[in-house]
């Protein structure tokens, strides 16, 4: 409860008079003041206190009295919907939580029959809960049919799509309006994320942050949580991402790999991230190349020069290895050993050889990319590169 419903718990403890024996005082308090179980429940679903109070049932206090709500809640959880997203779904699509047994699951499965994958459906319904209210959303079906008419199709078993037709003026207007509406939803999610970091709404700093932080609000939050789950303090992570906004612009997988390499391969403590959070923004290839070169120099017994003296160090500041340009790295590290330049070339060649296995061939799609760019916030599984090419 302290993790999922901190505000409720804090308010409850504040009502206890005898601070020297909180447990006993709290038990006595609850005997005469039973709590409304829906308050901590809704807060645990991601709703703020200001949002949840209008949603509280008028004549119920115990969750066990609303088995229909709990049944539909469990359907969403078992389907894979993140708990923290269900509150938004309840607020914007309360009707789905009044469905009888099996109805909500059947609606989710109906979208699977349209050819959508489960991860895509989860992203769609958390973004637009109204998709689950009533019959299968007519507007959404129109979008799917429009995409099919433009030749958008799935390639193989991957959630990658290509198109062969260009949109007409009417198609363009329809897709543009649809994309703008969905884009507004994601902009609000990003704003909520930035507010949690301490940015002031409608401020100049908020406007600048909107440009620097890339991605949807839920993605940014998940990447933020990834750093916290790694063992860093919440407020420390807040300071890190405000200082280096590009950190949460990377995928969770990449962030985790870099942290793993730093801790388990280079032997640095987690706190070193706090001193130099920018390390998470360097490519994995550059990090490995620089530290492989540095490790080789250590094996050769090279004395690493510092400001006014020389010493052999078991570790070196991350910024010392990474923050300098290639020319300075060569000057202050590589050439310290006669075979250093040759070894650096060997490491570079090895790195290039590894990358050659991941080469992908782009197929230019021209102006048709505009259609998909509008729909990227909706169809999150479209994998488009920044240069506008589609990879097969």
Question: DSSP per residue over 3-31, as a string?
Answer: TT-HHHHHHHHHT-S-GGGHHHHHHHHHH
> Which tokens sit at 259?
């942290």
Domain presence at residue 237: no
pLDDT in tens, 90-146: 888 888 888 888 888 988 888 888 777 888 888 888 877 877 876 655 566 666 666
Domain presence at residue 302: yes
CA–CA distance, 26 with 144 (Å, rounded to integer): 55
In what helix (H) or strand (E) does residue 162 lie, and over which residues does it extend? strand 161-162
Domain presence at residue 269: no
Exposed/middle/buried for residue 133 (C-beta within 10 Å: 0-12, 13-18, 19+) = middle
Domain presence at residue 286: yes
The parent domain of residue 349 ranges over: 282-359
> Which tokens sit at 375?
């729909």
pTM: 0.50
CA–CA distance, 1 with 321 (Å, rounded to integer): 43
> Which tokens sit at 81?
């919907």
Of the listed ranges 16-30, 157-171, 356-370, the one predicted with least confidence: 356-370
Which pLDDT does position 149 carry in this prediction? 60
The per-residue b/e assignment along 96-126, b for 16 or more CB within 10 angstroms, e otherwise, is: bbebeeeebbebbeebeeeebeeebbbbbbb
Point out the domain boundary residue: 98, 113, 135.
135
Q: Counting every residue, how long is the chain?
A: 392
Comparing 305 with 307, the larger pLDDT belongs to 305
What's the average model confidence in pLDDT over 314-326?
Answer: 85
Domain presence at residue 92: yes
> Which tokens sit at 154?
């799935």
Number of domains in the chain: 2
β-pair type (304-305, 310-311): antiparallel
The conformation of residue 262, written as its DSSP 8-state character, comes to I
Residue 18: pLDDT band (50, 70, 90) is: low
Point out the domain boundary residue: 83, 101, 135.
135
What's the average model confidence in pLDDT over 28-50?
Answer: 80
Domain presence at residue 252: no
Q: Is the pLDDT of residue 179 over 70?
A: no
Residue 307: pLDDT band (50, 70, 90) is: low
Nearest to 381 by CA among 174, 64, 151, 118: 118
Q: Which residue, chain included where needed, has tokens 């690493």?
A: 304
In what helix (H) or strand (E) does residue 46 lie, and over which residues does it extend? none
In what helix (H) or strand (E) does residue 318 lie, and over which residues does it extend? helix 318-322
End-to-end Cα distance, the chain: 46
pLDDT in tens, 338-383: 898 898 888 887 765 454 333 332 332 333 333 333 344 433 333 3
Which pLDDT does position 311 carry in this prediction? 38
**What CATH number is associated with residue 60?**
1.25.70.10
Residues 26, 13 contacting (CB under 8 angstroms): yes
Domain presence at residue 37: yes
Give the phi and the psi of residue 391 in degrees, each rounded to 5. -100, 130
Point out the domain boundary residue: 80, 113, 135.
135
Domain presence at residue 239: no
């Amino acid at each position: 409860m302290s993790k999922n419903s901190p505000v409720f718990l804090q308010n409850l403890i504040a009502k206890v008079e005898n601070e020297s024996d909180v447990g006993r005082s709290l038990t006595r308090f609850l005997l005469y003041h039973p709590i409304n179980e829906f308050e901590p429940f809704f807060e645990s679903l991601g709703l703020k206190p200001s949002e949840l109070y209008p949603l509280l049932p008028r004549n119920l206090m115990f969750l066990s009295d609303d088995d229909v709500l709990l049944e539909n809640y469990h359907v969403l959880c078992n389907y894979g919907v993140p708990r923290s997203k269900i509150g938004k779904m309840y607020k914007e699509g309360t009707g789905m939580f009044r469905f009888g047994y099996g109805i909500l699951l059947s609606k989710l499965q109906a979208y699977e029959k349209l050819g959508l994958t489960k991860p895509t459906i989860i992203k769609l319904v958390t973004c637009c809960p109204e998709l689950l209210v009533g019959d299968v959303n007519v507007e959404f079906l129109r979008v799917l049919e429009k995409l099919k008419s433009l030749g958008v199709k799935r390639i193989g078993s991957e959630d990658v799509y290509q198109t062969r037709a260009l949109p007409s003026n009417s198609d363009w207007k329809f897709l543009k309006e649809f994309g703008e509406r969905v884009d507004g939803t994601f902009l609000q999610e990003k704003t909520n994320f930035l507010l949690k970091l301490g940015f002031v709404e409608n401020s100049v700093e908020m406007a600048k942050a909107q440009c620097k932080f890339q991605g949807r609000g839920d993605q940014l939050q998940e990447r933020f949580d990834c750093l916290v789950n790694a063992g860093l303090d919440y407020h420390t992570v807040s300071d890190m991402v405000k200082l280096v906004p590009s950190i949460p612009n990377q995928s969770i997988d990449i962030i985790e790999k870099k942290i793993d390499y730093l801790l388990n391969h280079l032997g640095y403590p987690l706190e070193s991230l706090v001193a130099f959070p920018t390390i998470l923004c360097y490519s994995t290839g550059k990090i490995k190349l620089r530290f492989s070169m540095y490790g080789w120099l250590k094996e050769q017994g090279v004395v690493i020069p510092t400001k006014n003296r020389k010493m052999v160090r078991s570790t070196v500041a991350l910024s010392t290895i990474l923050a300098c340009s290639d020319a300075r790295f060569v000057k202050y590290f590589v050439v310290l050993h006669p075979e250093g330049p040759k070894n650096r070339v060997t490491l570079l060649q090895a790195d290039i050889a590894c990358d050659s296995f991941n080469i992908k061939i782009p197929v230019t799609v021209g102006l048709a990319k505009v259609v998909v760019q509008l729909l990227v916030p909706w169809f999150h599984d479209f994998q488009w590169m920044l240069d506008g090419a589609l990879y097969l």
